[in-house]
Amino acid sequence: MPKHIRRLLLLFAVLITLFIIVRQVLIPDSFGQFGHYRGLALEENKAHVARYVGTDICAECHWETMELKTADMHAEISCETCHGPGWKHIEEPEQGQLTIPEGREFCGTCHSRNPARSASLIAQVNLSDHNIETNCSECHNPHAPWN
Q: Binding residues for another protein, per CB under 8 A?
A: 1-5, 7-8, 11, 15, 22-23, 26-27, 31, 36, 99, 101-103, 105-106, 108-109, 116
**Nearest to 107, CA basis, from 119, 120, 121, 124:** 124
CB of 103 to another protein, least distance (A): 5
Which of residues 25 and 139 has its CB atom nearest to another protein in the complex? Answer: 25
CB of 64 to another protein, least distance (A): 24
C-alpha to C-alpha distance for 111 and 45, rounded to whole angstroms: 35
Sequence-distant contacts of 29-35: CB under 8 A, at least 24 apart: none
Per the document, the length of the chain is 147
CB of 115 to another protein, least distance (A): 10
Which of residues 9 and 61 has its CB atom nearest to another protein in the complex? Answer: 9
Strands (E), 41-89: none
C-alpha to C-alpha distance for 118 and 136, rounded to whole angstroms: 21
Which of residues 5 and 56 has its CB atom nearest to another protein in the complex? Answer: 5
Which of residues 70 and 145 has its CB atom nearest to another protein in the complex? Answer: 145
